[in-house]
Amino acid sequence: MTATIRVVRLPHAADLPLPAYATDGAAAMDLLAAVEAPLTIPPGERALVPTGLTVALPPGHEWQIRPRSGLALKNGIVLANSPGTIDEDYRGEVGVIVLNAGQESFTVERGMRIAQAVLAPVTRAVFEEAESLEGTARGAGGFGSTGFSSTGTH
Determine the average pLDDT of the residues in 117-133.
Answer: 96
**pLDDT, tens digit (0-9, with 9 covering 90-100), for 1-23:** 899 999 999 999 999 999 999 99
Instruction: Cis check for the bond before 121: say yes or no (omega within 30 of 0).
Output: no
Average of per-residue pLDDT values in the chain: 94
What residue ranges in 18-127 does DSSP mark as E strands? 20-21, 29-32, 39-41, 46-50, 53-56, 61-66, 77-79, 84-86, 95-100, 106-108, 113-121
- Check whether 151 has a pLDDT greater than 60: no
Q: The pTM is what?
A: 0.86
Domain map (residue ranges) of the chain? 6-121
What pLDDT shows up at residue 44? Answer: 98
- Angstrom distance (rounded) from CA 128 to CA 68: 38
- Check whether 110 has a pLDDT greater than 70: yes
What pLDDT shows up at residue 16? Answer: 98
Model confidence at 148, pLDDT cuts 50, 70, 90, reads: low
Topology at the third CATH level for domain 6-121: Deoxyuridine 5'-Triphosphate Nucleotidohydrolase; Chain A (2.70.40)
- Which string of DSSP letters, residue by residue, matches 80-100? TTSSEEE-TT--S--EEEEEE
Model confidence at 142, pLDDT cuts 50, 70, 90, reads: confident
Instruction: Answer yes or no: are the C-beta atoms of 43 and 102 closer than 8 Å.
Output: yes
